[in-house]
Structure 1
């Protein structure tokens, strides 16, 4: 019988965003869960399945594939022999947090939706302070996972939570004091959902949510919330290459009373202004903003709010590296970024990806192509575990720039491998 390419399996790899090697890795991990031992699957096995060379894999591969894609063998394009059958898998433990990236993100998202207790938010009747506290607890719970998973894994959950709170606002009764607290909690949730949308690459959704958060902040009389949203809007403007607009918004946020009274927020605002000034080649202003950011951070005490929990010495150092990069000081940018990466706590997986890409960019701009490729490879590996389209776009931009160095063997290999895998 003539060999026929397995288009169904190939389409599933595209749909799930897997490379051949990633599928092989996931088969091995899932086999460990199902059978108690790895399947020793390689990318060569996957290529043979797709090419149609193997029409019905062994059970040690087939059962894990069913677990990964949630499809029957026939739905994955495999053709059974007369004697072919799929044995029932042995009993296995419940999905654990260390499971592979795609299933782990789905598991946490589903688990969070239940753990947030959205069903406990009343849909009718009178709301009290206890209901407000339950709503307020949603944001810290989400941010516990944001630094590791990225906004793409949390945006849907945050939006679902926001819908539940909207329903309560519009269908329940409450007093004036609770009303103000409700609007503050709703604005906090909307601003957080906006950040997750921004990180997921959904910029229109992010802008809409930021607008809602500003409105809620005004209704609640919450100046800190408003300053936070202005900071995020400035960051979004910079992402969209509207640097002067970003600087103007940042200056407005710095001038608010709340920012002047909160060293945590002021430190962040000055850090972001430093990067903005550097991007428009205002070196003196960039350096002044960095100095002010450090000074403000030195005055910060206690614990920052959940949305600011990423602001650590590593983050300040990394943003200083970003400013130096924008000023064309690639050696200094490389040093600062390397220092930031060495200080970064393991829980900040997305930031590790971000600064690894920044490190590769500084190396490439400084002419150290082979070292840049090594960093870029590391970034691709981390990127498989994080759902942040914002950072993936940054990595893709680096890859596009690397085409100018296709005559360097290391760069040519990296470009060829990432083109084949879709990384």
Structure 2
């Protein structure tokens, strides 16, 4: 038997002009953007909410509804369960621009933690293979969120999750196989947290988390985890202005025997090594390794890629080529690669689209094309992107372009 009809929600649909099908589609779209995972909402869900059959939707539906309508559960006609934890305050359509970036990231972080069920990480008892599978599912969604929107809202979530996994490792019982799986999970979460910190400009924290990831990877005895950790430390060294050190780490990682059957990882390492060599003035080496990155990518099975490598697409290879040519001072070629990356980039990679858009504007600015640079930069869509590093670069390139005669 149905409950009391939810006339509040019904009125909101009429006010915003949604049909049942359209609202379901919008819930799915917003869930993918906010949470990095589909909600699988259908018009049947919407009909049940309006009929009163559901007193309070699950958080994977409720959080997008709050975002869409800008109202809390009660204002949408829902009745919170007595045991329910308070959900993050909604960011409504009229208030998005009024909230600071910090508030926005806090909202998304709260939504992510709730949806992923991080607070349900086991804290005692015996861990089994099923627990490892659930943890890996959470890691996959964390990686998808970073690849989609950036690390701004993710840093606190990943660090919290890291702490909970380590608590489980210290206080639960498990087999040797599960122990290795837990170390692998900790390495993966620490790596994701490291990139999130890097995306926020917190470079010391990123370095600490990446060292943590390497330690856990070594304990896991998983060669892919170890290679990933070394690759991230190479990226850290390169960003710190030590490209020769970064090149040595990447070369050592590329020499690992297990990479003969993992061309996708080899492709990434070759592309990153190419940039390091460009910074040291070895342009021939840069060219060789960019070519090697393309060759190895062509023989990779991308459908079986781990979640942390989902970003490595033909568009990303073009983008990495742009970065290497930029380091070599070859701005025209770099610009062509960046433009190609933007043309090939899939819609789901909102963060990377903003990143390469900023890179394109920087390259145009470096060539003295101030008006084009400003036009490129002001056309970049950053809605939903939570990367303070990208935002800061965008603001700098616009200011520099305008100071040199670009349009206001």
Matches within 5 A, 1:12-27: none
8 Å CA contact 1:214, 1:226 repeated in 2: yes
Asked whether 1:392 is paired with 2:395, we answer no
Residue 405 of structure 2 is aligned with which of 405, 408, 414? 408
Partner of 1:223: 223
Which residue does the alignment assign to 1:79?
none
- What's the secondary structure of 1:152's corresponding residue? coil
The 5 A counterparts of 1:253-402 are: 253-301=253-301, 302-379=303-380, 382-399=381-398, 401-402=400-401
Unaligned runs of at least 5 residues, structure 1: 1-32, 38-66, 69-89, 414-423
Unaligned 5+ segments in structure 2 are 1-11, 17-65, 68-73, 79-88
Displacement, 1:351? 0.8
Partner-residue secondary structure (3-state), 1:151: coil
* Structure 2 Cα separation of the partners of residues 340 and 265 of structure 1: 19
C-alpha contact 1:231 1:269 (8 A) present in aligned 2: yes
Superposed displacement of residue 329, structure 1: 2.1
Q: How far apart in 2 are the matches of 1:152 and 1:323? A: 26
Counterpart secondary structure, 2:300: coil
2:279 touches 2:327 (CA, 8 Å); kept in 1? yes
**C-alpha deviations, 1:10-69, integer Å up to 9, x for none?**
xxxxxxxxxxxxxxxxxxxxxxx89947xxxxxxxxxxxxxxxxxxxxxxxxxxxxx99x
Q: What whole-Å deviation, never above 9, does each CA across 1:231-289 have from its counterpart, x for those lacking one?
A: 11111222222222221221122122233331110001111111121222221111101
| Counterparts in 2 of 1:244 and 1:399: CA distance versus 1, 3 Å | farther
Identify if the C-alpha distance between structure 1 residues 98 and 278 changes in structure 2 by more than 3 Å, giving closer, same or farther: farther
Query: In the alignment, which residue of structure 2 is the partner of 1:23?
Result: none
Taking structure 1 as the reference length, what is the TM-score of the superposition?
Answer: 0.71
Distance 1:409 1:155 in 2: 36
Distance of aligned partners of 1:174 and 1:407 in 2 relative to their CA distance in 1, 3 Å threshold: closer
Deviation at 1:104, TM superposition (A): 6.1
Change (3 A) 1:93 1:244: farther
Between the aligned partners of 1:375 and 1:359, the Cα distance in structure 2 is: 7
Q: Secondary structure at the match of 2:183?
A: helix
Supply the distance in 1 between the matched residues of 2:237 and 2:262 (Cα, whole angstroms). 23
CA RMSD of aligned residues (A): 3.0
Aligned to 1:144: 144
Query: 1:158·1:193 contact (CA, 8 Å) conserved in 2?
Result: yes
The verdict on how the C-alpha distance between 1:222 and 1:385 changes in structure 2, with shifts beyond 3 A counting, is same
Query: Per-residue deviation at 1:341?
Result: 0.4
Question: Does the 8 Å contact 2:190/2:210 carry over to 1?
Answer: yes
Larger Rg: 1
Distance 2:306 2:90 in 1: 29
Q: CA deviation at 1:305?
A: 0.7
Q: 1:295 to 1:92 in 2, by over 3 A?
A: same
Cα pair distance change 1:290/1:138, threshold 3 Å: same
Q: TM-score, normalised by structure 2?
A: 0.73
Q: Secondary structure at the match of 1:137?
A: helix
Residue correspondence of structure 1 range 78-117 to structure 2 within 5 A: 91-92=75-76, 100=96, 105-117=105-117
1:128 aligns with 2:128: yes
Provide the rounded CA distance (Å) in 2 between the counterparts of 1:180 and 1:91. Answer: 47
**Aligned match of 2:33:** none
Contact 2:162 2:189 in 1 (8 A): yes
Task: Measure the CA separation in 1 of the matches of 2:320 and 2:295.
Answer: 15
Give the direction of change, closer, same or farther, for the CA distance of 1:407–1:240 in structure 2 (3 Å limit): same
8 Å CA contact retained: 1:227, 1:258? no
Q: Distance in 1 between the 2:192 and 2:294 partners?
A: 25
- How far off is 1:290 after superposition? 0.5
User: Which whole-Å CA distance do the structure 2 matches of 1:279 and 1:350 have between them?
Assistant: 25
Q: Residues 146-185 of structure 1 correspond to what in structure 2 (within 5 A)?
A: 146-185=146-185
Q: Distance in 2 between matches of 1:175 and 1:311?
A: 34
Kept after mapping to 1: 8 A contact 2:271/2:290? yes
Distance 1:257 1:116 in 2: 36
